[in-house]
Structure 1
């Protein structure tokens, strides 16, 4: 029974924390999403270029396909 009250207390505390969260409005959410998507695209391009460069370098020294 003691275990059950611990579980109930855990969820009650979690619900209380969620009530104190300041949720973003629509404009902020769009702004944050844009930042994340742009960052992902930039990082993807950087990793692609790095991979391409290493691949070409390995071809030049004869270790690549």
Structure 2
């Protein structure tokens, strides 16, 4: 157990953490992509509802 904890601690020293500027940029990209996908799937959903409504 202690060997595992030591190896985790040693590995965490090798991690390169993002800067605040890079983190904000990455979060912004994730939010923009999420919004675009939500809009896309919303439009597709409305289109499918409209098409099904024509047949029902």
TM-score > 0.5, shorter chain as reference: yes
Any unmatched runs of 5+ in structure 2? none
Residue among 17, 32, 56 paired with 2:26: 32
Q: Per-residue displacement from partner, 1:27-47 (whole Å, max 9, x unpaired)?
A: 101100100000000000001
Any unmatched runs of 5+ in structure 1? 1-6
Would you identify which runs of 4 or more consecutive aligned residues in structure 1 move more than 3 Å?
Answer: none
Q: How many residue pairs were aligned?
A: 56
2 CA distance for matches of 1:57 and 1:11? 58
Bigger RCO (CA 8 Å, 6+ sep)? 1
When normalised by structure 2's length, the TM-score is: 0.89
